[in-house]
Amino acid sequence: MIGKESTFAEFEILNSQLKHHEPRSKDDFLYMKARLAELAYKFTNSPINAREFVWTKFHYQAAKLLKTNKDIYITKPYKGAGVVILNTNDYIGKMLDILNDKSKFKRLGDTSVDSTSNTEVKLQKRFLQIHRRKFISKDTYDRIRPVGSQRPRMYGLPKIHMNGAPLRPILSMIGSPQHELSEILEPVLKELSGNCIADSFRFAATIRELDFNSETTFLCSFDVTTLFTNIPLDETIKICSDMLYRITLTPPDFPENIFLEFMELATKLVCFSFNDVMYQQVDGVAMGSPLGPILANVFLGFQESLLFTQVSRPVRYWRYVDDTFVIFKCRHECFAEELLSLSYEEDGSGTVIPYWEQQPAPRVLDTIK
């Protein structure tokens, strides 16, 4: 394990070794110190403690001025630390480009149609019925019963490492009527995530330990475009149900019909606001929801099970959420072609059909055995 104190000490030594250089300006020197501090926190995977940084009167005045400027939107980047300042109209426009996709989102109206309190009452009544029929325990009922719920809110984080800085939509569900329900479903679904690597640090450590000949192997990576919003929700819920209740995994304490109802309540019933307008996500999963990453992993794991029934497994195959790293013995172009063919096929007229809409749809048990 990386020691925070010893690592910070090494960065302090590095900083002192640079002092004999003459900085181009005071601002450049302060920027360098800030970057060293950021790197130290990233290297130790430690949260930045704002109390360790001294703010002057100038900093407070600048922050207040920026905060009151309605023409700019201040946020953080999707990956890494830092501050991103966007033009407000550009930010809203990029978010509306995402939310105007009618296959994924449904516009409900302004915030006067907010149904958060009504959703809370409906869930309270339904959970009580399920508890009285002894499908869930008193402890589970007390935990998932929503009280004092808050409206979920959608916002976007810019991907500054990509051209045009596209936004990653994030749904803040903390305090929502479905948040605790999602929390209890998370450990139930966690064992379905397959062989996905737990985090990027573990992936980096695994790669460093590899011993392979770069001249006799071929390395490549795959990425999934806008994974979360493109997850077919109904199909993924069915995959989860089949894996939990029909394959050799430990099913939850409640029956399958209750599980399916809980999954739909935790995903399809979520209404949220953006820019004073209410929306409902009708397909895909939301990043920010406790279930988002798990459902994405389940769906991709299912795709992998389909893939490896048709093509031979590579020398090495790792996946971290939507990023896949593969090592082949040679350039294996058909692998990518097979991967794409699992997701889409043409109906004869040139129309592309996602596999989950193809008839007959593949059964989970036939592909995971």
Burial, 367: exposed, middle or buried (Cβ in 10 Å; 0-12, 13-18, 19+)?
middle
If asked whether residues 10 and 97 sit together in one domain, one would say no
Closest residue by Cα to residue 233 from 189, 178, 298: 298
Asked if the structure places residue 317 within a domain, the reply is yes
Sheet holding 277-281, edge to edge: 105-110, 277-281, 271-274, 153-158, 167-172
Task: Encode the chain (369 residues) as per-residue pLDDT tens digits.
Answer: 456 777 777 777 777 777 777 777 777 777 777 777 777 777 777 766 666 666 677 777 887 888 888 899 999 888 777 788 999 999 999 999 999 999 889 999 999 999 999 999 999 999 999 999 999 999 999 999 999 999 999 999 998 888 888 998 999 998 999 999 999 998 888 878 766 776 777 777 777 777 777 677 777 777 777 778 888 889 999 999 988 888 766 788 889 999 999 999 999 888 999 999 999 988 888 888 889 888 988 888 888 887 777 777 777 788 877 778 888 876 655 666 666 665 544 444 444 344 334 443 333 333 322
Give 68's DSSP letter. T
Asked if the structure places residue 24 within a domain, the reply is yes
Asked if the structure places residue 80 within a domain, the reply is no
Q: How far does CA 138 lie from the centroid of its chain?
A: 31
Predicted pLDDT of residue 368: 28
If asked whether residues 40 and 148 sit together in one domain, one would say no
Alpha helices in the chain (DSSP H): 4-17, 26-44, 57-67, 88-99, 116-132, 138-144, 179-190, 200-208, 233-246, 256-267, 292-307, 333-343, 364-368
DSSP assignment string, 94-155: HHHHHHT-TTTEEEEEEGGG--HHHHHHHHHHHHHHHHHTTSS-HHHHHHHS--S----EEE
- Could you tell me if 249 and 368 are in contact, meaning their C-beta atoms sit under 8 angstroms apart? no
Predicted pLDDT of residue 335: 66
Predicted pLDDT of residue 258: 94
If asked whether residues 102 and 49 sit together in one domain, one would say no
- As beta bridge partners, residue 319 has 324
- Could you tell me if 109 and 289 are in contact, meaning their C-beta atoms sit under 8 angstroms apart? no
Give 287's DSSP letter. B
Predicted pLDDT of residue 47: 67
List pLDDT tens digits, range 231-261: 888 999 999 998 888 876 678 888 999 999 9
Predicted pLDDT of residue 202: 76
Asked if the structure places residue 321 within a domain, the reply is yes
CA distance 24 to 28: 6
Predicted pLDDT of residue 350: 43
Asked if the structure places residue 197 within a domain, the reply is yes
- Full residue range of the structural domain in which residue 43 is found: 4-54
Establish whether the linkage from the previous residue to 360 is cis, with ω within 30° of 0. yes
If asked whether residues 116 and 50 sit together in one domain, one would say no
Asked if the structure places residue 247 within a domain, the reply is yes
If asked whether residues 41 and 171 sit together in one domain, one would say no
Q: What residues have CB less than 8 Å from 40, skipping those under 6 apart? A: 7, 8, 11
pTM given for the model: 0.71
**Number of separate domains in the chain:** 2
If asked whether residues 145 and 49 sit together in one domain, one would say no
Tokens of 282: 């009708």
If asked whether residues 43 and 97 sit together in one domain, one would say no
Asked if the structure places residue 333 within a domain, the reply is yes
Closest residue by Cα to residue 221 from 120, 103, 132, 327: 327
Asked if the structure places residue 64 within a domain, the reply is no
If asked whether residues 171 and 244 sit together in one domain, one would say yes
Give 167's DSSP letter. E
**How far is it between the farthest Cα atoms of the chain?**
75
If asked whether residues 15 and 155 sit together in one domain, one would say no
Q: What residues have CB less than 8 Å from 111, skipping those under 6 apart? A: 151, 273, 276, 277, 278
If asked whether residues 316 and 207 sit together in one domain, one would say yes
If asked whether residues 149 and 47 sit together in one domain, one would say no
If asked whether residues 189 and 326 sit together in one domain, one would say yes
Predicted pLDDT of residue 52: 60
